Amino acid sequence: MKQRLTALIASVLALFALTVGFLFLEQHCQAPVPVPSVPGGYYDEEFVLQFTAPENGTIYYTTDGSTPTTQSAVYSGGIPIVNRSSEPNIYKAVQNVVSDWKTYTPDSTPVEKGTVVRAIYVSDWGQVSDILTQTYFVGIPQPEEGYTLSIVFEYDDLFGENGIYVTGKEYDDWYLSGGNPSQAPLPNFMKDMEVVTTAEWLDSEGDILNQPVGLRIQGNTSRIFPAKRLIITAREEYSGSQFFDAPLFPDVITHSVMLKDSLPDAMMSDLLQDRSVSTQQCIPVRVYLNGEFLYSSYMFERYDSQYFRQYYQVADRILVKDGAPDEESLALSEVDYYGEYMYWIKHTDFSDPAQWAQFQEETDVQSYIDYIITNYYMCNYDFSEAHNYVLWRSCWEGSGPYDDLRWRWCIYDIDVLLGIIYNEAIDDPAALNLFSNAPEYHINILSIFSALRVNEDFCRQFVLSFQDMVNNNFAPERVEAVLKKYGYTLDWRDGYFRRRPAFAMQHLAEEFNLTGTLEMVQITSAHPEMGTVTVNTSQIDLSSGSWTGQYYTDYPITITATPEPGYTFVGWKGDTGETSTQITLPVTGGISLEAVFAEA
């Protein structure tokens, strides 16, 4: 009897302990997130969204982007998901997104609208789940290229009295009272403020990424316009990670991206892949604010520390933007290396071979040349050494190829072609000589360029590189393929890229006093899969078996053949029978060559 009583007591105690343990877990562990019947994305027909969650609890949800709480709507039976595009605009109807907002009348035409559903599950024991955020589009065409970006936020964070997208209460009080213009407060959108939002990227398969992020306004003068550029940043305090949880661009992990409507900038990562300047990968995006269409844009990488770690394996870098090191650079170094560098350049005669050699020790000369040529070719007169100007170098000398303390340049904000139609001083942008005849800044006033013009080696390298880029990187057929990727043709901006090469060659000859003739260079290969050919600084495109370019006879050109693994270079046929992989030939009379490869 005593043994049975002892066993019974033990069983009761075990059951009690199990129950207490279960209740403890229920009260102290994270509740499961509600599971939607279908994921966010694009749908042809309206439907009822349903959730699945444990029975001992309640689902609360919102459909306006706000954070769900126990005061939100209680889920019961389903949520209708419909096409809301005919509903009045909310965010595009806000007036105080510009400084003089009394004279601004937003377009009231309804825009595309999806439905943002946010939901939490709260158990009967008080557990609260993480927030589920999903965006649904019904009867709206899915973008053919790129991502849909749904930015989900509390209304006040962007459009309230302290919102980052509007002028704000302090400014509006001054503005409505007719205050003194000299005492105007700074509009909120001109301040560097950040708010926490949720960013959801979607493609044809649904969510690519769904993560709490920081959001702030990007740019300088662009902030004054209603459709503002944005910066989106992953931060550990928001999501537990300083990186986006999934790759937004091929083969890289990203910390921060920016949105801007700039086709010229977008094209550069495609056109300059083989050059010595930094470019930003980009992808087209359609942007929505709490489900309401904002604009179609491009999402770019940013030149932050993570960028240089990814592409150059440089742990610490000095980044100079608009003539001054950024905050991180100042924290890493107590010395103004850029200021010393520029002072030296302005007070040095680079016709002296020793000084030219020193310049090459401190500068990636090809990077600078590629940077200047790109800005010339894209007609970017909105840059100087103190504006829209970015360069960098490693902080320390190391074993890596870029840990060499040399300055290198970044392509940045070259979108003048988008607005050049408003500049009455320019009749034809394709004919604009940016070396000496730009309406604002021209290349000859740049300290570095003007200092180097006295050096013959620099001039030779610049002239050959310029012709290489015109014949290859900016060749109309190559530009045409890139324009097609973004939905345009060579007719863009009155055929700018079709007409620019002829003017470019003419301007080059005028600037560098070239007296030779412009001759044709043709290179062929019967087996382009067996090897590549480089002319001066550019690997030419022999995929069709033939390539042609034009070069002035003032300087000879260097041609290099490189066999692929498993093959060997046999020699050249045509205007020379040499067998050396690298040859230098005068261009007089033109050049016609065949690169001959064979199996090893």
* Spatial CB neighbours of 565, under 8 Å, sequence gap ≥ 6: none
Distance, in Å, from the CA atom of 22 to the CA atom of 295, rounded to the nearest integer, reads: 50
- Please, are residues 135 and 197 in contact by the beta-carbon 8 Å criterion? no
pLDDT at residue number 18: 35
Distance, in Å, from the CA atom of 38 to the CA atom of 44, rounded to the nearest integer, reads: 13
Structure tokens at 284: 């087209």
What are the domain boundaries of the chain? Answer: 35-301, 305-514, 517-600
Residue 471, amino acid:
N
Question: What phi, psi does 256 have (nearest 5°)?
Answer: -155, 145
Residue 543, amino acid:
S
Name the least confident of 21-35, 377-391, 413-427.
21-35
Q: What is the mean pLDDT of residues 563-584?
A: 96
pLDDT at residue number 5: 42
- Please, are residues 93 and 289 in contact by the beta-carbon 8 Å criterion? no
pLDDT at 356 over 60: yes
The separation between the first and the last C-alpha atoms of the chain, rounded to the nearest angstrom, is: 93
Structure tokens at 198: 């949720």
- Please, are residues 385 and 442 in contact by the beta-carbon 8 Å criterion? no
Name the 3-class secondary structure at 587. coil
Residue 514, amino acid:
L
- Which pLDDT tens digit goes with each residue over 196-254? 999 999 998 889 999 999 999 998 888 999 999 999 999 999 999 999 999 999 999 99
Distance, in Å, from the CA atom of 200 to the CA atom of 152, rounded to the nearest integer, reads: 8
pLDDT at residue number 427: 84
pLDDT at 425 over 80: no
Residue in the structure block whose two tokens are 């003017």: 503
Report the relative pairing of strands 147-152 and 195-203 from DSSP bridges.
antiparallel
pTM of the complete model? 0.89
Which DSSP letter does residue 25 get?
H
Under the banding of pLDDT at 50, 70 and 90, the label for residue 423 is: low
Distance, in Å, from the CA atom of 502 to the CA atom of 491, rounded to the nearest integer, reads: 16
Distance, in Å, from the CA atom of 106 to the CA atom of 92, rounded to the nearest integer, reads: 7
R_g of the chain, CA atoms, integer Å? 30
pLDDT at residue number 439: 79
Q: What is 517-600's CATH number, 2.60.40.3680, 1.10.3720.10, 2.60.40.10, 1.10.10.60?
A: 2.60.40.10
Distances in Å between the Cα of 272 and the Cα atoms of 276, 302, 374 are 8, 17, 9
Helix ranges, 400-548 (H)? 416-419, 447-452, 456-471, 476-485, 492-511
- Please, are residues 209 and 200 in contact by the beta-carbon 8 Å criterion? yes
How many other C-beta atoms are found inside a 10 Å radius of the C-beta of residue 377? Answer: 21
